[in-house]
Chain A
Amino acid sequence: MLKAVVGFVVGILVVAAGGFMAMPHLMFNETASPFGFEETIARIQHNIADNPVLQEKGWALSGLRNPAKAVQNDGGNVLPVQMIEVCSTKYSGPILKEDTVRFLSILMPCKISIYKKQDGKVYIGTMNAGLMGKFFGPLVGETMGHVAEDQKLFLHFDPNTPAPQIILPAAPAAGGGAGGGGGGC
């Protein structure tokens, strides 16, 4: 009997440890881009800005932020990283109206991070909106589920189309500064 209990407890501990270690990978997605740094940014931006389905859902680019800029200005060495900010008021509105989940405004606007790593490859980092939404009740869960579906369209690349140009924000964002207007959030 004692052995069974000990085994059960050890099993729980192992599962808990495994879950704890896997959590960071579950909350965020990272995929390698088949394109160069600037081209990846531009393609994602145009996937969002030029897609009528996404436009119908209220998606709009709201900024392009370079978090490495401030570090570089301070004399630091940081490989390129840019964050595309994108928002849909159709999704953000209901959450911002509900007091119990208004704190989730810290996740707005949605961000897609494009960065280079030491292997020389370009990566795309996104939040696992579908999973995160499930922690915050039905309203957020449903909304974030839609966001997760739309995120797939953000990152659907057609290599046969020519590389577009980066859409620069109206007011260029310097490290930590405003990202510029255009979006709904």
Chain B
Amino acid sequence: MSLAKLVRVLAVTAGMVLAANAAQANTDPAPAAPAEKKASTSTADHSKFKELQENFATGPDVTKACLKCHTEAAKQIMHTKHWTWEYLNPQTNQLLGKKHIINNFCTSISSNQEFCTACHIGYGWKDDKFDFSNQDNVDCLVCHDTTGTYRKLPGYAGHPPYKDTEAPAGSGFIVKAVDLKAVAQGVGKTSRKTCGSCHFLGGGGDAVKHGDLDTTLTNPSKYLDVHMAKDGLNFTCATCHETDGHNVPGSRYTPVADDTTPHIRGKKNADPETCQSCHTAAPHKHNARLNTHAVVIACQTCHIPEFARGQPTKMSWDWSTAGKLDKDGKPIRIKDSSGHHDSYDSRKGNFRYESNVIPEYIWFNGKVEYTLRETKLDPTKVVKINTLEGSPTDGKSKIWPIKRFTGKQPYDVGNNQLVVFHTYGKDDSALWTNFNWDKALEYGMKEIGAQYSGKYAFVETEYSWPTTHMVAPKGDALTCAQCHQPSIGVGRLDKVPGIYMPGRRANALLNTAGWAIAALCLLGVLVHGAGRIYASRKGAHK
């Protein structure tokens, strides 16, 4: 045993370590898993429906057939963000949604709808003339396909390929035409794969936008996600995001930072996707100390020790370097050190990917304020695309883990506002066609009818994403020492303000000195006590 260990053992024996009870690992049993379905329990076999026997030419043709029986489905969809891509935040009164915000990934769908709406739950949204009231435009298959063959490609305004298509153009990779009849006859419940076909690929590719959502969650191991593990609880997305009338709870615009009205499964609740909905607000049945932590610390902080544990996630995107061409005037792509991702793409600029990312930690109360296109910005500072509000004193905040995505994107120098630019299109103004920022910006701003000074520069931006998925098994949750006695010197919550936290920082020398003093105190007490006992016995003998 080393001297340092001996010293520590002695000191612990003396009972001078007040925080020791916090070091006990949580051993609570996980909630019971829903029974795994071996076979379909549906009462309907769609392959036997006469409405689905025809050879459908287009997606809307399939929808017409669906709506003959599911008469209210499209109407329900039309009330959801999945359809409108629009959301009025009641807390801030800001009009949000993909239709309105400018982010620091692909930035904006405006003037680029034909490309971006590959992830819209509809068919044909290629410009502002899209008919949001036409029920036939609702895409039932993208969520309900169980064959795994349904696929929507960017550039087709939300339609799947109706004939064999080379995608991306010039790649030589042929995407087979979708067999609409087979897909329609095989519809069923949503799955990790159907939800993931958009949500795992947000921001322009796999693992780009969310650090905690990517295609590794399609068939995850228990370590990657204890709830979704294919050999474990096998949750689908809808197990937590329990849908009601096609409305899927859970929002990045108004996340629930602290579920103060958790329910028991089976009861109606506006936020069934929170941890508390199943685990309650005091989930550690045998460790009250951990429950006191849960009052101010989000479950995710300890139970998602790192994100991007399945594959690297994009951490930064610099648009300012886009447009470099090779000596023949052709766009270039350069792989990063891993060989799996681009570190440079002429169309998009520079990127940086990272795996097993340690999150940043902030106080968050659920209120999110966005920098909108109309918002005046200070280009000398990093522009926060969104600001997650919270403080240690407001009584509503908890400490949350986040992914902080950084970027550099164009802004209007004359008006000090973020700008919309035209990225995709077969016309001469699209950035990805001609690599001309002036044309792309003029087109984009004209498209939305906004004022543009004609001068642009690039501003640094950042976008914060609360981390909620990729929950690790309890054995892989953060240990007490990772905050309270960090071996590397700085604890996980070191930068979180407004909390008293013993052992936030560790200094090996100081620790050893402290433990040594404690041990010497103990030694002194023992020697003194022994002396007193010896003396009293000696006195008694006399």
Query: If A118-B482, A163-B336 touch, does A37 touch B354 (CB 8 Å cutoff)?
Result: yes
Question: Which one of B339, B352, B354 contacts A166 once the chains associate, using CB atoms below 8 Å?
Answer: B339
- Tell me whether A80 is interfacial, beta carbon within 8 Å: yes
Residues of the A chain whose Cβ atoms lie less than 8 Å from the Cβ of B488: 117-119
Query: If A17-B3, A118-B482, A119-B490 touch, does A79 touch B336 (CB 8 Å cutoff)?
Result: no
Smallest CB separation, B358 vs chain A (Å): 4
* Complexed CA–CA distance, A117 and B222 (Å): 22
Query: Cβ of B337 and Cβ of A163 under 8 Å apart?
Result: yes
Question: Which one of B3, B338, B355, B358 contacts A118 once the chains associate, using CB atoms below 8 Å?
Answer: B358
Query: What's the A-B contact tally at a CB cutoff of 8 Å?
Result: 66
Query: Cβ of B223 and Cβ of A72 under 8 Å apart?
Result: yes
Number of interface residues of B (CB under 8 A): 34
Query: Cβ of B490 and Cβ of A164 under 8 Å apart?
Result: no
* Complexed CA–CA distance, A76 and B490 (Å): 23
Residues of the A chain whose Cβ atoms lie less than 8 Å from the Cβ of B4: 21
Smallest CB separation, A78 vs chain B (Å): 9
Considering only residues 31-72 of chain A, those with a C-beta below 8 Å from chain B are 36-39, 41-43, 72
Question: Which one of A41, A72, A75, A162 contacts B473 once the chains associate, using CB atoms below 8 Å?
Answer: A75
- Tell me whether A77 is interfacial, beta carbon within 8 Å: yes
- Tell me whether B318 is interfacial, beta carbon within 8 Å: no
The closest CB in chain B to the CB of A39 belongs to: B337
Residues of the A chain whose Cβ atoms lie less than 8 Å from the Cβ of B306: 79
Query: If A119-B488, A119-B490 touch, does A36 touch B337 (CB 8 Å cutoff)?
Result: yes
The closest CB in chain A to the CB of B479 belongs to: A118
- Tell me whether B472 is interfacial, beta carbon within 8 Å: yes
- Tell me whether A165 is interfacial, beta carbon within 8 Å: yes
Residues of the A chain whose Cβ atoms lie less than 8 Å from the Cβ of B160: none
Smallest CB separation, B407 vs chain A (Å): 17
Residues of the B chain whose Cβ atoms lie less than 8 Å from the Cβ of A20: 2-3
Query: If A20-B2, A20-B3, A166-B337 touch, does A77 touch B490 (CB 8 Å cutoff)?
Result: no
Residues of the B chain whose Cβ atoms lie less than 8 Å from the Cβ of A168: 339
Residues of the A chain whose Cβ atoms lie less than 8 Å from the Cβ of B352: 36
Question: Which one of B222, B334, B338 contacts A38 once the chains associate, using CB atoms below 8 Å?
Answer: B338
The closest CB in chain B to the CB of A123 belongs to: B488
Smallest CB separation, A18 vs chain B (Å): 10
- Tell me whether A116 is interfacial, beta carbon within 8 Å: yes
- Tell me whether B422 is interfacial, beta carbon within 8 Å: no
- Tell me whether B221 is interfacial, beta carbon within 8 Å: yes
* Complexed CA–CA distance, A86 and B193 (Å): 42
Considering only residues 2-47 of chain A, those with a C-beta below 8 Å from chain B are 17, 20-21, 36-39, 41-43
Smallest CB separation, A126 vs chain B (Å): 18
* Complexed CA–CA distance, A168 and B338 (Å): 10
Query: Cβ of B355 and Cβ of A75 under 8 Å apart?
Result: no
Question: Which one of A36, A37, A43, A118 contacts B492 once the chains associate, using CB atoms below 8 Å?
Answer: A118
- Tell me whether B99 is interfacial, beta carbon within 8 Å: no
Query: Cβ of B339 and Cβ of A80 under 8 Å apart?
Result: no
Question: Which one of A17, A80, A120, A165 contacts B337 once the chains associate, using CB atoms below 8 Å?
Answer: A165
Considering only residues 352-366 of chain B, those with a C-beta below 8 Å from chain A are 352-358
The closest CB in chain A to the CB of B222 belongs to: A75
Smallest CB separation, A46 vs chain B (Å): 10
The closest CB in chain B to the CB of A77 belongs to: B476
Majority secondary structure of chain B interface residues (helix, strand, loop or mixed): loop
- Tell me whether B486 is interfacial, beta carbon within 8 Å: yes
The closest CB in chain A to the CB of B486 belongs to: A118
Query: Cβ of A76 and Cβ of B223 under 8 Å apart?
Result: yes
* Complexed CA–CA distance, A168 and B306 (Å): 26
Considering only residues 365-422 of chain B, those with a C-beta below 8 Å from chain A are none
Question: Which one of A41, A75, A119, A120 contacts B221 once the chains associate, using CB atoms below 8 Å?
Answer: A75
* Complexed CA–CA distance, A21 and B488 (Å): 17
Residues of the B chain whose Cβ atoms lie less than 8 Å from the Cβ of A80: 355-356
Majority secondary structure of chain A interface residues (helix, strand, loop or mixed): loop
Query: If A21-B4, A77-B223, A77-B476 touch, does A42 touch B358 (CB 8 Å cutoff)?
Result: no
Question: Which one of B2, B222, B358 contacts A120 once the chains associate, using CB atoms below 8 Å?
Answer: B358
Residues of the A chain whose Cβ atoms lie less than 8 Å from the Cβ of B305: 77
Question: Which one of B3, B222, B356, B472 contacts A79 once the chains associate, using CB atoms below 8 Å?
Answer: B356
Considering only residues 487-535 of chain B, those with a C-beta below 8 Å from chain A are 487-490, 492, 512
- Tell me whether B433 is interfacial, beta carbon within 8 Å: no
* Complexed CA–CA distance, A36 and B490 (Å): 20
Smallest CB separation, B26 vs chain A (Å): 15
Residues of the B chain whose Cβ atoms lie less than 8 Å from the Cβ of A79: 306, 356
Query: Cβ of A42 and Cβ of B337 under 8 Å apart?
Result: yes
Question: Which one of A37, A39, A75, A118 contacts B223 once the chains associate, using CB atoms below 8 Å?
Answer: A75
- Tell me whether B286 is interfacial, beta carbon within 8 Å: no
- Tell me whether B335 is interfacial, beta carbon within 8 Å: yes
Considering only residues 1-50 of chain B, those with a C-beta below 8 Å from chain A are 2-4
Residues of the A chain whose Cβ atoms lie less than 8 Å from the Cβ of B487: 118
Question: Which one of B221, B223, B335 contacts A165 once the chains associate, using CB atoms below 8 Å?
Answer: B335
Residues of the A chain whose Cβ atoms lie less than 8 Å from the Cβ of B338: 38, 165-166
Smallest CB separation, A43 vs chain B (Å): 8
Interface centre among A39, A79, A118, A164 (most CB of B within 10 A): A118
Residues of the A chain whose Cβ atoms lie less than 8 Å from the Cβ of B343: 163
Query: Cβ of A164 and Cβ of B337 under 8 Å apart?
Result: yes
The closest CB in chain B to the CB of A35 belongs to: B337
The closest CB in chain B to the CB of A13 belongs to: B3
The closest CB in chain A to the CB of B490 belongs to: A119
Query: Cβ of B492 and Cβ of A77 under 8 Å apart?
Result: no
* Complexed CA–CA distance, A20 and B353 (Å): 41
Residues of the B chain whose Cβ atoms lie less than 8 Å from the Cβ of A38: 336-338
Given contacts A36-B354, A77-B305, A163-B343, 12 further A-B contacts (CB under 8 A): A36-B352, A38-B336, A41-B337, A75-B223, A77-B223, A77-B473, A77-B476, A79-B306, A80-B355, A80-B356, A118-B487, A162-B334
List the interface of chain A (C-beta within 8 A of B): 17, 20-21, 36-39, 41-43, 72, 75-77, 79-80, 116-120, 162-166, 168
List the interface of chain B (C-beta within 8 A of A): 2-4, 221-223, 305-306, 334-339, 343, 352-358, 472-473, 475-476, 482, 486-490, 492, 512
Closest 7 CB pairs of A and B: A77-B476, A120-B358, A42-B337, A38-B337, A38-B338, A39-B337, A165-B339
Task: List, sorted by A's number, 19 A–B pairs whose CB atoms are closer than 8 Å.
Answer: A17-B3, A21-B4, A36-B352, A37-B355, A42-B337, A75-B222, A75-B473, A76-B223, A77-B305, A80-B356, A118-B358, A118-B487, A119-B489, A119-B490, A163-B343, A165-B335, A165-B338, A166-B337, A166-B338
